[in-house]
Amino acid sequence: MTRPRDTPKGSTGLEVRAAAARGLTPVLKDQGSLAGLDEHSVVARDRGLLKELCFGTCRHLPRLEALAGILLRQPFKKRDQDVQALLLLGIYQLLYMRIPAHAAVGETAGAARLLDKAWATRVLNGCLRRLQRESAALQAQVDRDPSVALSHPVWLLSALKEAWPEQWRALAEANNQPGPMTLRVNARHGHRETYLKALAEHGMEGRLCPHAPDAITLETPCDVATLPGFKAGRVSVQDEAAQLSAVLLGPVLAPRPGARVLDACSAPGGKTAHLLEQFDIALTALDSDSERLSRVEDTLERLGLHAELHHADASQRGEWSQSEFDAILLDAPCSGSGIIRRHPDIKRLRRPSDITRLAALQARLLDNLWPLLVEGGTLLYATCSVLPEENAEQVSAFLARTPDACITTPGDVAWGQPSGAGRQLFPRQDSHDGFFYARLEKRTATDTF
């Protein structure tokens, strides 16, 4: 169950529910994601509620849709997906939020008028009141299906079962919880223990993360603008698992000032910035999405850091590939199956065919980048996935066709578990996201014989 939130004091709630329905409609139509959610479509006091309504509904979407299917006498027409969104939002509020039932029902049904569909008010009101009356029986009915009970699409739950027969249920349950807000303290501005004291002075509680030496997890998420020293570059938001890339590259980069490093899929720039905060290196950052690359530029500007940025596809050669690199970070495009709790619309938008397509892209990236690594250099392969096709199986296939690649992934660490040539982390409640890492070294010519 998600963390509760009360309706903002003094809010009628109609506008925010209508805005939430508009934000969810592209997801239901498979025409967009929550990345396009316009939080400024409502007043500032309602933005937290808007985000929770949309993200929480997506987080439990398979279960909410199963209940909606029972409550409706017949499905809404395709042109009325915004009304369907309102119904799902209403069910979510009644089952998962601490909003008074009369507000969840009345304001959700009433919001149909703001969508110019007043006819739907009576339908929504009837469905939601029936759910109030028959809640236990209806939930028991839909929960006979494990994929509904665990709010995952059938194909994804099956994939998790096959890949992780002992962990699949805990993994699915972790996906249904919102992830914590974790910070990365800029080592150029001091130690995280000092920053923890600064947080306390501002009335914010946090705890040191056990695996990433620069990480602090907040007890309560907040607006980044309220973080001490955020604008000055003292701290950034980044999950603990993502911060381990700098830890794994540390032994390669720490003793080598001026080392040439490539961040091949760099947006939005968290790992790029972390490497520059930690090491005196010459870093080249690529991304194939110009809009996302601009976020890398903004991040570096806030932190006072510099990298050579290129709008380029790392699966193909270009101007950026004229030199060799001492280290390459390939944070490869993937299914995002390890960060579903932060991007719950993945449950609706991702398809089984995407995994095959992404695995092919990951293989092209590995094959294109490996020749750019100097002898003795290191490539760190990373994904925010928990699916073996993108992780252990991907690296195993690469090793089989690449005789000068050898495994250097550490085995004596306290995080994750061995998975082929790498280590797999699973999403943990109030802890890190799901992630995979494999560290590979390029043998010298004499070592390959």
In the block, tokens 């996935």 appear at 385
Pairing of strands 281-287, 308-311: parallel
In the block, tokens 């939930």 appear at 139
For the record, the structure tokens of 328 come out as 């390459």
- CA–CA distances in Å: residue 80 to residues 21, 108, 120, 324: 11, 15, 9, 55
The Cβ of residue 134 has, within 10 Å, a number of other Cβ atoms equal to 13
> Length of the chain, please?
449
Using alpha carbons, select from 239, 296, 248, 240 the residue that is nearest to residue 273. Answer: 296
On the question of a cis peptide bond just before residue 268, with omega within 30 degrees of 0, the verdict is yes
Helices (H), 176-289: 192-201, 240-253, 270-278
Phi and psi, residue 305, nearest 5°: -115, 165
Using alpha carbons, select from 267, 271, 236, 207 the residue that is nearest to residue 437. Answer: 271
In the block, tokens 């709790």 appear at 341
Helices (H), 327-449: 346-349, 352-369, 392-401
Using alpha carbons, select from 171, 150, 178 the residue that is nearest to residue 387. Answer: 171
- 265 in active site: no
- Among the options 54, 127, 334, 384, which is catalytic? 384
Instruction: Please tell me the distance from the alpha carbon of residue 418 to that of residue 79, in angstroms, as a whole number.
Output: 48
User: What is the residue type of 342?
Assistant: R
Residue 418 near residue 166, CB atoms below 8 Å: no
Instruction: Please tell me the distance from the alpha carbon of residue 245 to that of residue 397, in angstroms, as a whole number.
Output: 22
**Residues recognised as catalytic:** 384
